[in-house]
Chain A
Amino acid sequence: MRLLAIILGMGICLCNCQSGVEVARIAPDELISVSSFLSPQDTLIRVNVLRGRALNTTARVDSALIRDAQVIITSHGQNIQLTYNEALRCYVTTPKSLPIKPSERYHLRVKVGSKLCTASCQIPENPIQPTIQPQREEDHFIGILDWPSTPLPRFFTLTYELRDVIFKPQLGSTRGPYTGFLTDNLFDRQKQNTQALELRVFNAYKAERISLRIVYQALDEPTFRYLKTYRDFDNWRSNTSGFIPNLREPQPVFSNIEGGVGIFGGYNQTVLNFKIK
């Protein structure tokens, strides 16, 4: 009996305490997904509101749509309610009703029945256009992107594409211009050296006429984290066939929606058209 009491005492002494771990147990059917990116360049402001889905259900967007949510975006104390658009399958409003301005903070409230999802975002400052220093290497174009030394957004993304290409294939020169890829087009200025970014257009000077369209988007932190984790998530889920275990660490997608999942983020973009030839 005494032995039992000692064992019990030891167990209580060392084991009977809270682990402090809270395991999230939201049933997928009760999960609300909210997503929207705001930008001063928007022609229409959209907010997607959908229900989470359990496994073993058919993955169709229309079966997850929530059409009766109350969606409100607030800025400077002014509440704008978005209306559901059946054609676009999301909640919309116009920039006229809700102007999106740099440096402004916006708050989102989505109410579905008794469930409330909230989030906020801040639109980055207007991005400063980079300068391009063109260089030629044989028939290839190299553009060195640089920014004047002014305060710059910490997070940004950069994409570029060819425009106005006129290329006539000739014998021995059948391959026209094509762009090199940036291995990573999401940038964090605190972690990466983003001075003098290099863009390449191969065979650019074989074309008779060619331009480059560069889209430079300043991002707020939630948007940057969402896009980065989404990309890593996509790599993770495609890293297994089911026959071998996934040898990558699981990657959850970032969410800043309180009471649900998804993203409410802001960005601000500028477009630079550069004539190569």
Chain B
Amino acid sequence: MIKWVWIWVGLLGGHLKAQNVILSGYVREAGSREYLVGAVVQIAGSSVGNTTNAYGFYSLQVPAKQDLMVRCGYVGYEPYQQMMTLLQNTTLDIALTPQTQQLQEVSIAEKSGQAGSSEMGNLKLSVQQIKDIPALLGEKDVIKALQLLPGVQKGTEGSTALYVRGGGPDQNLILLDEAQVYNANHLFGFFSVFNGDALKNVSFWKGSFPARYGGRLSSVIDLQMKDGGKDKLRGEGGIGLLSSRVAIDGPIQKGKSSFLLSGRRSYIDLLTEPLLPADSKIGYRFYDLNAKLHFDLSPKDKLYLSGYFGHDRLRMSEQVERSTSTITSKAGMAWGNATATLRWNRLLSQKLFVNTTLLMTDFTFLLFDDFRLTRTNGNNSSTYTEYRSGIRDYTVKVDFDYFPSNAHAVKLGAMLTQHRFSPRAFVAENRIAQTLENNIQQFENQEFGVYAEDTYTLNQFSANVGLRFSGLRVPTRTYAFVEPRASVGYRWRPNTELKASYARNNQFVHLLSNTGAGLSTDLWVPVTERVPPQQADQIAVGLVKRFPKVGLTFTAESYRKWMRNIAAYREGATFLILSEGAKPLNWEDNVTIGRGLSYGTELLLQKTKGRLTGWIGYTLSWTIHQFDELNNGLPFYPRFDRRHDASVVANYKLSPKMTLSANWVYATGNALTVAQGYYFAPSSLGSSFLDRIDYLGTRNSFRAEAYHRLDLAVQFHKKKRWGERTWEVGLFNAYNRQNPLYYYLKSENAPDGSGQRMSLQKRALFPVLPSINYNFKF
């Protein structure tokens, strides 16, 4: 192992001896000066090239005293080129001009150079692409757009939960400006918390993610908020049926600092509450706020401060007047996320870039019930019951980007996170008797990680090799693991690339879910002495074939993933257990540990040029779980095992003023445990009474109906003196497919009165839903 490290270091050193000068700088958007992530900077006619890092920085070593053509390209922007002759190290900041919408080329998996790209399972979606996809009630959603990609499956109808290559929704690392977001959804999982107007970049890794990412098994969704324009005030927003949103950004000090402020609020409560009777109210609302400040302190120093605050609240209140008493009850549910990120970039040299980050993330869930009975005889009662759960993290991390030569791009870093989990805080107060019962559980642990990775490019060959050392300290022991990561790419033909990857990942947090829908009611629990960290090994092979003339790219990837120590509820367990009151319950008693295997092949054909753009994705996959304490220890298909998953996304620019879009999805039905019949057996010892018992078969042996849906939308764009407005008319579930949300047993009396009859019923959620939205931009 050490020998190979030295060989690699030797390779780095070999390139260091070359006689070159350094060309480095930032790539930005012209006008707003927004940094562009992943832009390709190349020297024409040579193999010298690199991509910008997460802060738009690049560094190249180029021959001195030669005429060079510097080229820069980024999807959706006019290509840049400039002839230069460099005598010494030079800083070149490049400004790219956005393409007009008509000409724009869109792609969801791009990085082109002369060598094959080693990135596997990495997909990038532009915010504009997300906005072009038809959505439920016209609410554009990053997570729902990701669900349309091969290898990514949705949970239940309407849910924003992601199941990536057989992994659960907890196995996705969702980062917003580097801060982790837990339970990233609004409205019981129907919408994600991310407001597209505030986003600059969405990068999605499924499986083989590089060593700089850690702590999750299945995917990374890395979202970056816009920095805000440094030249002038800009704004955009929209008015929809469910919510409205607005985002403004602009300079604080022109050219040097900027701000971004974005907000969104639903108005179901505002519309419905006045219509409800005064003695019985129910209201729901969500809001979210994104804010960011960005300061160019000096040419070498940049400071970013960003935050996200989102909250959902469902409240019910009722007042019942009786002749001798009045009952007042208030109950509700609330949950929310808050994140804060402070980052300081410093350019230590033209080859070395460092970013230091302080992070805070907080998720809380609350369920409460406030009951008051006021009697005329003064014999009153008043109780308050509350259940809370939550998680709070504080993180400090430092990341270095080092460019020793054109062939190598090295990343090094370390992080430390203090986690505080509160899986159950139960309080029951009797205000009359002045008694208080409570059961509050808190766990603290420290997660740490150190990594090094190198992206090596030579001729047709490229590789990303990394090592991550990660661990967790719990009160009585420390878990520590070495995670090797490697992906290689080879440009076999001018337009054909072959790829392969291996990754080991560990995860120090579990999510306990009854619904599998990724709801906010799902419980985040820590790794403890009894519940070990999750671990996965994944191998993947892939092929990319480009047809540049017609703008088509075909991608095929096959994977196999082994998961260990995955947690699930025991049979019969539930998440709330309110009925047990303040009894000191231990969630660890409700959990069982097992292993999983998933494998499959993903195909993606995308069209990125012309009036018609979009993609067709198909996944053939299997996911299998095995737990000693579930299904009698036999393997079973988990709820989200999908044999076939397909999506078609199309966007057609009919004219500069009109865009048509459609998407169609198909997925094999969920694997469920439901009654398939019944039998009679005794309910207790010594009893001759025989009860009806549901025959459930083996675990998840019932397949729900297949899921399929067509969504349509048409956008009408118009330039105005103040900017641009877009009307969007959409149709969700256009052919009114009754997709199953869940199944239940319905019991009714037999027509002849001879007894009860049980039947399995399907409950569907969304019929055909039209929507209209007004969006503006200035």
Contact = CB atoms under 8 A, between A and B. Distances in A.
A196 interface: no
Contacts of B755: 58-60
Interface stretch (A44-52, A136-144, A202-210): A44-52
A101 interface: no
A11 to B, nearest CB: 5
A189 interface: no
A48 B682 contact: yes
B703 to A, nearest CB: 9
B282 interface: no
Contacts of B558: 10-11, 13-15
B602 to A, nearest CB: 10
B556 A10 contact: yes
Nearest to A29: B677
Interface stretch (B524-532, B568-576, B658-666, B767-775): B568-576
Contacts of B569: 249
Interface string B727-768: 000000000000001101110001010111111110100000
B688 interface: yes
B622 A53 contact: no
B515 A10 contact: no
Interface in B475-514: 496, 514
B676 A55 contact: yes
Given A245-B515, A261-B679, A52 B620 contact: no
Interface stretch (B30-38, B633-641, B706-714): B633-641
B679 A14 contact: no
Given A31-B679, A245-B742, A13 B541 contact: yes
A57 B759 CA distance: 8
A261 B681 contact: yes
A19 to B, nearest CB: 5
A88 interface: yes
A174 B174 CA distance: 63
A236 B694 CA distance: 11
Interface string A103-137: 00000000000000000000000000000000000
A245 to B, nearest CB: 4
Given A55-B758, A61-B680, A61-B690, A22 B685 contact: no
Interface string A24-54: 1111110101010101000000101011111
Contact of B744 (A25, A48, A240, A249): A240
Nearest to A10: B558
A270 interface: no
Interface stretch (A73-81, A145-153, A163-171, A224-232): A224-232
A171 B62 CA distance: 104
B556 A7 contact: yes
Contacts of A31: 677, 679, 695
A26 B515 CA distance: 26
A6 B599 CA distance: 17
A19 B677 contact: no
Contact of A217 (B575, B682, B685): B685
B696 interface: yes
Given A10-B556, A31-B695, A57-B757, A252 B571 contact: yes
B159 to A, nearest CB: 12
A262 B690 CA distance: 11
A20 interface: yes
B10 interface: no
B681 A33 contact: yes
A263 interface: yes
B387 to A, nearest CB: 13
Interface in B562-606: 569-576, 599-601, 603
Nearest to B631: A252
A56 B558 CA distance: 43
Most buried by A among B677, B694, B752, B755: B677
A231 B509 CA distance: 31
A242 B676 contact: no
A229 B482 CA distance: 41
B637 A21 contact: yes
Contacts of A46: 688
Contacts of B515: 245, 247
A246 B672 CA distance: 12
Given A3-B543, A35-B682, A50-B679, A14 B601 contact: yes
B686 A37 contact: yes
Contacts of A39: 685
Nearest to A240: B744
Nearest to B743: A245
Contacts of B680: 33, 48, 50, 61, 64
Most buried by A among B559, B637, B680, B759: B680
Nearest to B756: A59
Most buried by A among B560, B679, B696: B679
Q: How large is the interface on B (under 10, 10 to 19, 20 to 34, 35 or more residues)?
A: 35 or more
Given A55-B676, A232-B571, A247-B514, A14 B599 contact: yes
B683 A230 contact: yes
Interface residues of A, number: 70
A237 interface: yes
Interface string A243-271: 00111111111000000011100010000
Contacts of A48: 680-682, 690
B86 interface: no
A59 B543 contact: no
B624 interface: yes
A239 interface: yes
Contacts of A240: 744
A227 B571 contact: no
Contacts of B758: 55-56, 59
A58 B756 contact: yes
A52 B679 contact: yes
B572 A249 contact: yes
B679 A262 contact: yes
B693 A247 contact: no
A59 B572 contact: no
A13 B543 CA distance: 14
A217 B696 CA distance: 29
A59 B620 contact: no
B637 A7 contact: no
B576 to A, nearest CB: 7
Nearest to B700: A23
B759 A24 contact: no
A53 B680 CA distance: 9
Given A55-B677, A261-B681, A245 B620 contact: no
A217 B685 CA distance: 9
B556 A53 contact: no
B698 interface: yes
A195 interface: no
B538 to A, nearest CB: 11
Contacts of B458: none
A223 interface: yes
28 contacts: A10-B558, A15-B620, A15-B622, A19-B635, A23-B637, A25-B697, A25-B701, A28-B678, A28-B695, A37-B682, A48-B681, A52-B695, A54-B677, A56-B757, A56-B758, A56-B759, A59-B755, A233-B693, A239-B574, A242-B745, A245-B742, A246-B514, A248-B514, A249-B514, A249-B570, A252-B696, A253-B693, A263-B681
Interface of A: 3, 6-7, 10-11, 13-15, 17, 19-29, 31, 33, 35, 37, 39, 46, 48, 50-61, 64, 88, 90, 157, 217, 223, 227, 229-230, 232-237, 239-240, 242, 245-253, 261-263, 267
| Nearest 10 A/B pairs, CB to CB | A28-B677, A232-B572, A251-B572, A33-B679, A14-B558, A250-B673, A245-B742, A248-B574, A24-B698, A10-B558
Given A23-B637, A51-B679, A55-B675, 12 more contacts: A6-B556, A11-B558, A29-B677, A54-B677, A59-B755, A230-B681, A236-B572, A245-B741, A250-B673, A253-B693, A261-B693, A262-B681
